[in-house]
Amino acid sequence: MPCSETSLTINICPVFKYTASNRALTNEQRQFYEDNGFIIIRGLVSPADLDRYQQRFIDFCDGKVDKGGMTVMKDLSLLKEGKAKGEYLVNKIQEFLYDDVLFDYAKDPKIVEVVASIIGDNVTAVHSMLINKPPDAHEATSKHPLHQDLHYFPFRPADKICASWTAMERIDEKNGCLFAVPGSHKLELYAHVYPDALTNKAYHGVIGFDDKPKVMMIMEKGDTAFFHPILLHGSGPNLTKGFRKAISVHYASSDCHFIDVKGTTQQNIADEVEAIAKKRGISVDYRVIWKMKSRLVAGQLGKFNEMGSKI
């Protein structure tokens, strides 16, 4: 029955704040996301696609494919030890939205449909990562501290931003699964710092919150979590002798607008990223970096995508 008032009954429709439509989510799934700030869709990405992405990652690690504009990051503890190389050393590649193979993940219709159900139809991919946890890294670098992704994003509104995160193999407590504080997307954005002297570059975290109940997201290959950028989450260390890989893209509505983060809790990450860019010979505003690395995947371009002076 449609949501309308009849002479006999009043049909109450749910009010959704954090999701946009039923395009690829049922009311129950939307309600779960509204209440918890995340949802896991099982078996969403095909194993064959994930195998292609894994091979591409290994090819980048081995230097068989030019990394172009991508960032390749190394586990700090393994780097200090100086023994590991390739896939045994690299803990993340970022900015793959212009890579022919890995962009297939960002534009996978099964993922984009769910994202559009959450943030609306005009979808821009803004951040991309393939995250590897190699064996034998120090626990401090192998884990990902509790954090909120919005800390990194100089654009709003937060409710129009969503992450997808797909397990590339079974991921559980032994090899470093994601964990999250359910419902924490309704809290505010907190200050983030380096929680430990031995923490990977730009892995900022919040201090405190140890007493908050957390859910462990145990996932099989292809299972995909979608989550809100204020959700407090992190991941544990890989304690096995194997790898732990996941592929992830953040999406924002093309209608999002940029904010100036100077003088806010986000200034520390903006300063750090601008300094890294400067070292590479690029003097550029933090907001422009985000515009430059983004790519439309569905619907229309909007305020977010405009280049030039309108930041």
Ligand X SMILES: O=C(O)CCC(=O)C(=O)O
Expressed in angstroms, the distance from the first to the final Cα of the chain is 45
Find the binder of ligand X among 235, 253, 254, 294 (CB under 6 A): 235
CB of 248 to ligand X, least distance (A): 6
Find the binder of ligand X among 44, 89, 246, 289 (CB under 6 A): 246
Asked whether 198 and 138 are in contact (CB, 8 A), the reply is yes
**Closer to ligand X at the Cβ: 144 or 293?**
144
The reply on whether position 75 binds ligand X by CB under 6 A is no
Rg (CA), the chain: 19
**In a 3-state reduction of DSSP, which class is residue 85?**
coil
The reply on whether position 219 binds ligand X by CB under 6 A is no
Q: Which stretch binds ligand X (CB under 6 A): 26-34, 233-241, 268-276, 281-289?
A: 233-241
Find the binder of ligand X among 75, 108, 149, 159 (CB under 6 A): 149
**Closer to ligand X at the Cβ: 122 or 144?**
144
Quick one: tokens of 186?
């309704």
Q: Residue 289 is inside which H or E element, if any?
A: helix 286-293
Find the binder of ligand X among 116, 131, 289, 297 (CB under 6 A): 131
State which amino acid sits at residue 173. Answer: E
Find the binder of ligand X among 30, 56, 144, 291 (CB under 6 A): 144
* CA atoms lying within 13 Å on the CB side of residue 290: 26
Q: Closest by alpha carbon to 230, among 45, 17, 15, 20? A: 17
Find the binder of ligand X among 160, 228, 233, 291 (CB under 6 A): 233
- Taking residue 35's Cβ as centre, other Cβ atoms within 10 Å add up to 14
Of residues 104 through 123, those in contact with ligand X by CB under 6 A are none
Q: Which stretch binds ligand X (CB under 6 A): 217-225, 228-236, 266-274, 296-304?
A: 228-236
CB of 182 to ligand X, least distance (A): 15
SS3 string, 106-151, reads HCCHHHHHHHHHHHCCCEEEEEEEEEEECCCCCHHHHCEEEECHHH
CA 61 to centroid of chain Cα atoms: 21
**Closer to ligand X at the Cβ: 136 or 260?**
136
Query: Measured between alpha carbons, how far is 269 from 261 in angstroms, rounded to an integer?
Result: 9
CB of 101 to ligand X, least distance (A): 20
Q: 10 pairs with which residues across the strands?
A: 5
DSSP state of 303: G
Q: Which stretch binds ligand X (CB under 6 A): 232-240, 275-283, 292-300, 302-310?
A: 232-240
* Contact string (CB under 6 A) for ligand X, positions 151-190, x = contact: -------------------------x-x------------
**Closer to ligand X at the Cβ: 148 or 253?**
148
Q: 247 pairs with which residues across the strands?
A: 130, 166
The reply on whether position 150 binds ligand X by CB under 6 A is no
Positions that interact with ligand X (CB under 6 A): 129, 131, 144, 149, 176, 178, 233-235, 246
